[in-house]
Structure formats: C-alpha cells, structure tokens
Amino acid sequence: MSTIYDFTVKDQKGNDVSLKEYEGKVILVVNTATGCGFTPQYEGLQKLYDTYKDQGFVILDFPCNQFGHQAPGSDEEIHQFCSLKYNASFPQFKKIDVNGDNADPLYKWLKEQKGGILGSNIKWNFSKFLLNRKGEVINRYAPTTTPEKLEEDVVAELKK
C-alpha cells in the first residue's frame, strides 16, 4: 500500500469508510483521548479545521485508549464529549489501537512511513501525521506539538 487512500477504516458507528473519500485533501491524522493532558488540543485542532477546511484540509480523529486508559468511553460517549466540550466537527472514527499486535493497519502504515522518537511506535495520545494531497505522509509530530505550531506546515501544503 502506497497511500492513505488504500485504507478502509470504521466510523464511530462501525461502518466502513474508504479513505479514498479524502483524496486530494491535505490530511492531518491524530490519535486522541478524552482524558489526557493534551485533550485541550481539540480546541486548536477545531480552529485549524475551521480555518482551512474550505481550502481542502481535513483532520481524521482516531480515539485510542492505549496510553494510560485515557479514552475509556464508548465511541458514542467520546464523540459526545468532543462535540459538546470542543465543538469538534471534523471526522472522528472508531476507537483503535495504534501500537502492538492489534494496531490498526492504517497506523502500521503511518508508522512505517515516518518513524518517531520511539522508532515506529506512537509515543502517546495526540501524535500527528500530516499527509499531502497525494495521500503521502510528509511529516510526523510529537504529542507536545500543538495545532498552532503545525499550522505553517498545513498552509504550505495547501498552497502546493
């Protein structure tokens, strides 16, 4: 598999979603959690999404409970929390594993494309991958990298 468009994931209700649906967009993939110290990044993510969605930018949110069990709720509870507390309106998918034997195939591929400080493993919640309009991973960001700090890279990709 060579691009993100080759993958199918589950939406929060368990339905298949082909990522080909996002072809031609600049994509930010984030593994998230509702009870994490980084959870307030949802505010910055939503602002980034609101600012650039009409220019071909999308954020794909994959809740993950692997780090300190910080996303313990059901997919519906997680969605409600994000919608009500942060007005999150970007696509949110079914809770997944991002590391280990049960890691989602999408995340296995993302980690193969760009290693991080822990090699191929995801360090914590709110790790981020930026993909260009061709569906290729161009950058990986640590959980401490706020949405505001990666805005310049998003804008640069949108101009290409």
Query: What mean pLDDT is predicted for residues 105-133?
Result: 86
pLDDT of residue 117: 59
2 pLDDT band (50/70/90 cuts)? confident
Say what the pTM is. 0.94
Q: What is the mean pLDDT of the chain?
A: 91
What is the edge-to-edge ordering of all strands in the sheet holding 26-32? 57-63, 26-32, 128-131, 137-141
Of 19, 33, 36, 154, which residue is the catalytic one? 36
pLDDT of residue 116: 62
Angstrom distances, CA of residue 155 to CA of 44, 55, 56, 57? 15, 9, 10, 9
In angstroms, rounded to a whole number, what is the distance separating the alpha carbons of residues 85 and 91? 16
pLDDT at 9 over 90: yes
Domain annotation for the chain: domains and CATH numbers: 4-158 (3.40.30.10)
**Greater confidence, 74 or 50?**
50
In terms of residues, how long is the chain? Answer: 160
pLDDT at 83 over 70: yes
In angstroms, rounded to a whole number, what is the distance separating the alpha carbons of residues 17 and 36? 27
32 pLDDT band (50/70/90 cuts)? very high
pLDDT at 115 over 60: yes
Q: Is 36 a catalytic residue?
A: yes
